[in-house]
Amino acid sequence: MRRTIVFLSLLGMLGTVAGMGALRERELLQAEPPAVESASTEAGAVSGSVGEAEAGAAARPEAKAGGGVEGGAGIDAGAGTEAPAPATEPSTPPVDPEVPRPHLRVVALGWEVLAPGVLANDGMEPGQDSAFAAVGLDVSFSSVVDAEEIEIRLGRGGADERGADVALVPLPAFVASYERLRALSPQVFHVVAWSRGRDVLVGEGEVLQQPPRGELRLHGEPGSSSVLLGLFALEQAGVSPSRVRLVEGGSPGRRHGLQAVERRKSREIDARDLVLSTAEATHLVPVVAVAPAGVVARREADLVTWSRVWLDGATTLGGDPAAAARTLASESGAPEAVDLIDGLGWLDFTDLHGAAQAAGLSGRGAVELDGLFHRTWSLWRDVGLLTTPPPEHVPLTAIVIADLAREVPPGPAPVSPAIHRDPSGDEPGVLLTHTVSGRRLSAAAESRLVAEVGFLAGVFSRSTIEVTVPRSSEAADRVATHASERFGLGEGRVVVVPAEPEPKGTRPKKPRVAATVVVRDAR
C-alpha cells in the first residue's frame, strides 16, 4: 500500500513538471515576434542617423578628412556628440550681455579730431548699436580747447567722469606737456592723423630765404603745432632757435616778423601773406593717441580693440564726412556742421600702414615718431619751453600697432610717387633753402646730408628736393642716389642742380657753402 502511494505521488509530480515546461515554451513562442520587431526598429534608427551624418558631411565641403574644420582646430572623433559652433572672426569675439563692458574715456584737442571715433560710437557717449558696443567696449569722447585741460584729464584718469584714459593730441603739444606728465609715464601708442594745412606760418617769406641777423620774433602760442612749424622752418633756413623770441598773441608789428596760426576755417588767411603750412609739410605734425603707461599695461586688449574700430571709423569717414559732421554738430557745444566739414579738410586720418610706418614698423620712411619727438624736444628746449634733456627712451610703444598688424597685415608700403614737371611751365617757388657751411663736404657731413635730404623729402611729400654741392658734382650725385634708395623715394623727388660757376679772380663775399638743399613748392 505504501509503495502504491509513493508511486502515484511521483507520477503526479512528473506530470506537473511536464505541464509547466509546456506552458513556458508556449510563452516564449508568443513573446518572440515583438522582440524581433524591436530589434529591427533600432537598427533602422541607427542606419538613419548615419545617413543623415553622411548627408551633412557632403553638404559641408569645408570639412577636413582629419576631423577638423577649415579655419578651426581639429575635432577628436571620440569627443562628445554636440556639433561644434561655427568659427568666428578673431576681431569680433562674442559679447556676453550679462557682463559689464569695459569703459574707455577719450579726450581730444579739437572737435574735428574726434570724427572717426564719434562716427563709430554713434555719438559722444556709448551707443547701444555702435561699432564699439558690438565688440564689447564702451567709449566716451570729449573735446577741449586747451592743452592744459588734456593734462588735467589724464591726471584724473578714466575712473573719474571728468578724467580720461586716452588723449588725442598733436605731437608738439604732447612734447611740450611731457615734463608735467612725466610721473604718469605717458606713451604714444597710435597715430590717428596728420595736420594737412591746419598749421600755418604767415608774414614775410624773405625771412626763410635770406634770414636777417639778430633776434627774430615769432608770434604764436608756445607749445602749439603752428609755432613748431615756424621754428622748424627757421632752423632749416639757418636761424638758430636761440635767436627766436616767442611772442604770445598779436601780429608781427615790425619788419622780419612771422606769425604762427592754427587755421580752423577757410579764408581766414590772405593767401598773399602765406609763407608755409602743413599743406606742404604734410608729415611734420602728427596727431597721436597717448595713454599713461599703467593704462597701456593693464588695458592693452582694450586699446587694440579701440584702435581697430577707430581705423574702421576713419575709413567710413572718408566715404561720408558729412555724416560725421552732422553727428558731431548734434552734440552740445559743438561747432556747426559746415564748420566741422571745413575743419576736417585740414586733417588727414591715417590707415594701418600709415600708423605702422610712423611707428617705424613698416617701409623705409625717413619720418618716424622717434625722430620727430627728438627734433620737437630740441626746438622746445632751445626756445625755453622745456628745461630738461629728452627722456632716455622715447615714450613710444608700438605694441598696439604691432598687434593690429598681426591681425590684419598692413600690406606693402606704398611707393613714393614720381614727380614729373612740365618743362614749358613756370618753375615752382622755393619753400625752404637749407645750407651746409664749410669749404668741402666731408664724408661725415655727406652721410648727415643724405639723412636730412630723406627727412625733408618725407616731410614735404609732394615737393621736389634739389641738391647742389658746388665743388663736387659727384658728391651731389651720391647724396641724391643714396637718399632715393635708402628711403624709397620716387623718380624726380630728389634732383641734382649744378652749381653756378664762380667768376675767376674774385673772392666770394658770402660765407663758404659746402652744399645747398632747396625744397620747391608742390605746384
For the segment 7-66, what is each residue's pLDDT rounded down to a tens digit? 555 555 655 545 555 544 444 444 444 433 333 333 333 333 333 333 333 333 333 333
pLDDT-based confidence at residue 119 (cuts at 50, 70, 90): very high
Indicate whether 363 and 331 sit together in one domain: yes
For residue range 268-316, what is the model confidence (pLDDT) as tens digits?
Answer: 888 888 999 999 999 999 999 999 999 999 999 999 999 999 999 999 9
Q: Is residue 503 part of a domain?
A: yes
- The answer as to whether 90 is a domain residue is no
The distance of Cα 224 from the centroid of its chain, to the nearest Å, equals 22
Same domain assignment for residues 312 and 394:
yes
Residues 351 and 436 both lie in one domain: no
Q: pLDDT for 350-385, tens place per residue?
A: 999 999 999 998 767 789 999 999 999 999 999 999
Same domain assignment for residues 112 and 168: yes
Of the pLDDT bands very low, low, confident and very high (cuts 50, 70, 90), residue 440 is: confident
Instruction: Pick the more confident residue, 164 or 60.
Output: 164
Q: Is residue 256 part of a domain?
A: yes
Q: What's the pLDDT at 54? A: 36
Dihedral pair phi/psi, residue 126, rounded to 5°: -55, 130
Q: How confident is the model at residue 324 (pLDDT cuts 50, 70, 90)?
A: confident
**What is the C-alpha end-to-end distance of the chain, expressed in Å?**
146
Q: How far apart are CA 230 and CA 202, in angstroms?
A: 9
The single residue listed with the C-alpha cell 624773405 is: 206
Phi-psi category of residue 505: left, alpha or beta, with phi > 0 → left and psi -120 to 50 → alpha? left
Are 307 and 448 part of one and the same domain?
Answer: no
Q: Which pairs count as long-range contacts for 417-425, CB under 8 Å and 24+ apart, including other chains?
A: 417/490, 418/490, 418/491, 418/492, 418/493, 419/462, 419/464, 419/490, 419/491, 419/492, 419/493, 420/491, 420/492, 421/464, 421/492
What domain range is 499 assigned to? 430-520
Specify the pLDDT at position 28: 41
Which of 252, 277, 302 is the last residue in one of the domains? 277
Q: Do 134 and 186 have their domain in common?
A: yes
User: Which DSSP string corresponds to 284-345?
Assistant: S-EEEEEEEHHHHHH-HHHHHHHHHHHHHHHHHHHH-HHHHHHHHHTSTTPPPHHHHHHHHT
Picking from 109-123, 308-322, 495-509, which range would have the lowest pLDDT averaged per residue?
A: 495-509
Looking at the structure, do residues 231 and 122 belong to the same domain, yes or no?
A: no
Residue type, 415: V
Q: Mind giving me the DSSP string for 138-168?
A: EEEEEEES-HHHHHHHHHH-TTSTT--SEEE
Q: Average the pLDDT over 127-146 and give the result.
A: 94
For residues 450-472, give the mean pLDDT: 95
Per-residue pLDDT at 125: 94
Whether 171 and 228 map to the same domain: the answer is: no
How many CA atoms does the CB half-sphere of 495 hold within 13 Å? 16
Q: Kind and range of the H or E element at 467?
A: strand 465-468
Cβ contacts of 97 within 8 Å, gap of 6 or more: none
Domain count, the chain: 4
Cell numbers for 507, please give them: 673772392
Residue 364 vs residue 70, higher pLDDT: 364
Residue 359 lies in a domain: yes
Return d(Cα 495, Cα 420) in angstroms, integer: 11
> In whole numbers, what is the pLDDT of the chain averaged over residues?
81
Q: What is the 3-state secondary structure (H, E, C) of 198-264?
A: CEEEEECCHHHHCCCCCCEEEECCCCCHHHHHHHHHHHHCCCCHHHEEEECCCCCCCCCCEEEEECC
Is 425 within the bounds of a domain? no
CATH number at residue 262: 3.40.190
Higher-confidence position of 57 and 222: 222
Q: Can you name the residues that pair with 104 across neighbouring β-strands?
A: 139
- What confidence tier does 401 reach under pLDDT thresholds 50, 70, 90? very high
207 shares its domain with 329: no
Strands 199-203 and 430-437: unpaired
Q: Cα separation of 466 and 182, whole Å?
A: 41
Q: What is the CATH number of the domain that holds 344?
A: 3.40.190.10
**At 411, is the pLDDT very low, low, confident or very high (cuts 50, 70, 90)?**
low
Same domain, 209 and 338: no
pLDDT for 397 beyond 70: yes
Gyration radius (Cα) of the chain, Å: 38
Supply the DSSP symbol for 275. Answer: E
Residue 224: the pLDDT is 96
CA–chain centroid gap for 94, Å, is 25
pLDDT at 407: 82
Rounded to whole angstroms, the Cα distance separating 107 from 87 reads 36
Q: What average pLDDT does this structure show over 491-512?
A: 75
Q: Final residue of a domain: which of 37, 55, 73?
A: 55
| pLDDT band at residue 114 under the 50/70/90 scheme | very high
Could you tell me which residue, 70 or 197, shows the higher pLDDT?
197
Q: Residue 405 corresponds to which cell in the numbers above?
A: 598688424
Query: Is 88 inside any structural domain?
Result: no
> Residue 220 CA to chain centroid, in angstroms?
29
Q: Is residue 298 part of a domain?
A: yes
In a domain, 75, yes or no: no
DSSP string, 379-392: HHHHTTS--SPPPS
In a shared domain, residues 50 and 109: no
Element (DSSP H or E) covering residue 522: none
Query: Alpha-carbon distance 293 to 285, whole Å?
Result: 23
Q: Is the pLDDT of residue 504 over 80?
A: no
Residues 357 and 334 in one domain: yes
- The pLDDT, as a whole number, for residue 279 is 95
Q: Confirm if 137 and 189 have CB atoms less than 8 A apart.
A: no
Last residue of a domain, one of 359, 374, 407: 407
